[in-house]
Structure 1
Amino acid sequence: MRVLVVTDAWEPQVNGVVRTLQQLGEELTKLGHEIRYVTPQDFVTIPAPTYPEIRLAVWPWGWMGKVIRDFAPSAIHIATEGPLGLVARNYCVRHNLPFSTSFHTRFPEYINARFGTPVSWGYRFLRWFHGPATTMMVATRSLQEEMVQRRFPSTAIWSRGVDVELFRPRPDLKKGDFLDLPRPIWLYVGRVAVEKNIEAFLDLDLPGSKLVVGGGPQLESLKAKHTDVHFAGPKFGKELAEHYAASDCFVFPSKTDTFGLVTLEALASGTPVAAYPVQGPKDVIGDAPVGCLRDDLASAARTAVRISPERAREFALKYSWEACTRQFISNLAIQRPPTQDRPRLLRRS
């Protein structure tokens, strides 16, 4: 099977969407499928307003149709609602091509936080965007229920996994000087942006050290304001995994994430999680004794840091990327082979 994935989220961005799509490609290849990405790296790009780390493709219209015709995919998946996603969506609608989508990011809430745009306007746009898709994939059951309430017509679960070989406990790092900081070390990994509610973490009265891994539009202002916090910048691969494993507790202050892949990465690294009891953490952790979810985030952190790394690791081992990829495949809109009565959908119109 040939799968075309169209995404506006791609390297050098460092976030759960990019890591999920990269892992999806690896797992699809292992299962014998062929994957082709369409990303901003294929185009001239400009920086997104207020978020220069995100690059937006310029003039992708004519090229998108050529890619679809040349690759002749068995299935088309549109992962994001940016310029590339819009062009792919409109091409598929115009040429009667089945496609699936996924809902990764709460753009209505994010845009509201940045510009004050009404959240209802954002969801009206998203219903228009995802409406023609055969399936809109979401990460959790509670998010699916919410999307049904918001009148999205067709939804299915596509959960997330974690690379338990890369993200694993490394006990020697807690004993050594890899992170030469007073303990306990409270870690945040992710975008440094207002929608992530990072200041709720930075303002906590906690002993030891706070460590922030990631970049984003708030990085410089928060570094200037919180001089007692260690800002390590973006980290990748093994170095990122080592930061997880060397920390004592992962603090996840976001209230708008649809899943929070970073919480699984922390748990796989043997690092317990403190978070608010909201969608995402509630779906991943729930009542499992591997983290603490409370409205009082400082209290949650002081409780979570006492949880054993072994318990956190054991919990994360249940999340397999292969199982998530098979779930993704089952949600795809597979193109039927051409018949005498039915012309091939991917021909040039």
Structure 2
Amino acid sequence: MKIALVSDAWYPQVNGVVRTLQAVRQELRRKGHRVYMITPDRFMTVPCPTYPEIRLAIGGQTKVAHMLDRLGPDAVHVATEGPLGYAARRWCVRRRFPFTTAYHTNFPEYIELRTGIPEDWLFEVVRRFHAPAAGVLVATPTLQSQLARRGFRNLRLWTRGVDVSRFRPDLRTDLGYPGPVMLYVGRVAVEKNLEAFLEVDRPGTKLVVGDGPAMTDLQRRYPEVRFLGVRQGEDLARIYASSDVFVFPSKTDTFGLVMLEALASGIPVAAYRVPGPLDVVGPGGFGTEAVRADGPVGVLDDDLGAAIDGALALDRRACRPYAEGYSWSNCADLFLRHLALTGRSGSVSVAA
């Protein structure tokens, strides 16, 4: 199958969307499919307002249409609601070409936090973006239910995976910090609710891996925290495995791929009792009953400090088997099944 994957999120960005698309692309190619990426690195870009680290493509309407015309894809998947996503959506709608989209990020909530624009207004804009899609791929049952209540249609479950060959407990070493070591990995931005973690008063060392617009301010306000910047590859895997608990303070993430990376590394998760953590490590997760029998792999609590205390007391040996229940191969197979449902002869309900 010839698949066009369109995304406004791509390298050098480092986030769950980019890691997911890269892993799925690799799996699809391994399975014999031809995958063509339409991403910002092929266009002129400008900084995203309030988040200059993210570059947005400009002048993409005509160029994206020409790319898709030349490619003649069997399937089009639009991963993001950005300029390139809108350009690909327009191409598909005008040609009545069935396509899928994905709801990776709670942009309405993020934008409200940054600008004060009510999220209800923004959800209507995002709903209209996804309305013509033959399938809207979502990561968890909780998110599926939430979006259905907001009028989204054609929602399809598409879970995530983790590279268990890269993230491993046997990489554990002494990082040289007083323990317990409490780790956060992700964007350093207001929507990640990172302050809730940094405000927790517990002995030990807090590590923050990542970068973002809130970095300078948080470094100034929390000098006792170790801000390690962006880490990748085995360096990142070693930090995961060498920590004692992974803290996930976000209340807006749709999934939280970093939680799976932590579990594959053999460390339990502490998080709020909210969508994302509830689906990944809580009773609503995708793990099999056999995996669950190994014991809990995280603690969710409305008090993040209590969640950290509880997670530190868990048996780390349960974490790795749980993470092994997720694979990128299964993730890619699900993706393909949703693409196959659209078919080139399917119909598209036009919603401008």
Other structure's SS at 1:231 match:
strand
Decide whether the 8 Å contact of 1:170 with 1:246 is kept in 2: no
Q: Tell me the equivalent position of 1:303.
A: 310
Decide whether the 8 Å contact of 2:2 with 2:75 is kept in 1: yes
Counterpart code for 1:102: A
Structure 1 residue 291 corresponds to structure 2 residue 287: no
Cα deviation for residue 69 of structure 1 reads: 1.4
Q: Tell me the equivalent position of 1:278.
A: 274
Q: Tell me the equivalent position of 2:226.
A: 230
Counterpart code for 1:261: L
Q: After superposition, what is the alpha-carbon deviation per residue over 1:267-298, rounded to whole angstroms, capped at 9, x for unaligned? A: 00001000001000000111451110000110
Cα deviation for residue 308 of structure 1 reads: 2.4
Q: Structure 2: how far apart are the matches of 1:336 and 1:106? A: 29
The 5-angstrom pairing of residues 245-284 of structure 1 reads: 245-284=241-280
Other structure's SS at 1:12 match:
coil
Other structure's SS at 1:170 match:
helix
Q: Tell me the equivalent position of 1:52.
A: 52
Q: Tell me the equivalent position of 2:286.
A: none
Q: Structure 2: how far apart are the matches of 1:329 and 1:258? A: 21
Q: Tell me the equivalent position of 1:194.
A: 190
Other structure's SS at 2:208 match:
strand
Q: Tell me the equivalent position of 2:325.
A: 318
Structure 1 residue 138 corresponds to structure 2 residue 138: yes
Q: After superposition, what is the alpha-carbon deviation per residue over 1:143-184, rounded to whole angstroms, capped at 9, x for unaligned? A: 1111111111211001001000001113541xx3xx221111
Q: How many residue pairs were aligned?
A: 335
Q: Structure 2: how far apart are the matches of 1:264 and 1:189? A: 12
Other structure's SS at 1:5 match:
strand
- Structure 2-normalised TM-score? 0.93
Decide whether the 8 Å contact of 1:169 with 1:309 is kept in 2: no
Decide whether the 8 Å contact of 1:74 with 1:334 is kept in 2: no
Aligned Cα root-mean-square deviation (Å): 1.5
Q: Tell me the equivalent position of 1:341.
A: none
Decide whether the 8 Å contact of 2:3 with 2:34 is kept in 1: yes
Q: Tell me the equivalent position of 1:330.
A: 337
Q: Structure 2: how far apart are the matches of 1:66 and 1:26? A: 25
Q: Tell me the equivalent position of 1:10.
A: 10
Decide whether the 8 Å contact of 2:28 with 2:332 is kept in 1: yes
Q: After superposition, what is the alpha-carbon deviation per residue over 1:233-277, rounded to whole angstroms, capped at 9, x for unaligned? A: 011121111111111100000000001101000000001000001
Structure 1 residue 181 corresponds to structure 2 residue 188: no
Other structure's SS at 1:136 match:
strand
Q: Structure 2: how far apart are the matches of 1:146 and 1:117? A: 20
Change (3 A) 1:334 1:135: closer
Structure 1 residue 93 corresponds to structure 2 residue 89: no
Other structure's SS at 1:250 match:
strand
Q: Structure 2: how far apart are the matches of 1:171 and 1:44? A: 40
Decide whether the 8 Å contact of 1:214 with 1:233 is kept in 2: yes
The 5-angstrom pairing of residues 12-51 of structure 1 reads: 12-51=12-51
Structure 1 residue 122 corresponds to structure 2 residue 129: no
Q: Structure 2: how far apart are the matches of 1:15 and 1:9? A: 8
Cα deviation for residue 306 of structure 1 reads: 2.0
Q: Structure 2: how far apart are the matches of 1:147 and 1:335? A: 24
Q: Structure 2: how far apart are the matches of 1:196 and 1:170? A: 29
Cα deviation for residue 72 of structure 1 reads: 1.2
Unaligned segments of structure 1, at least 5 residues: 338-344
Q: Structure 1: how far apart are the matches of 2:180 and 2:95? A: 57
Cα deviation for residue 335 of structure 1 reads: 4.1
Other structure's SS at 1:25 match:
helix
Work out the percentage of aligned pairs sharing the same amino acid.
51
Q: Structure 1: how far apart are the matches of 2:121 and 2:36? A: 32
Q: Structure 1: how far apart are the matches of 2:315 and 2:15? A: 27
Counterpart code for 1:183: G
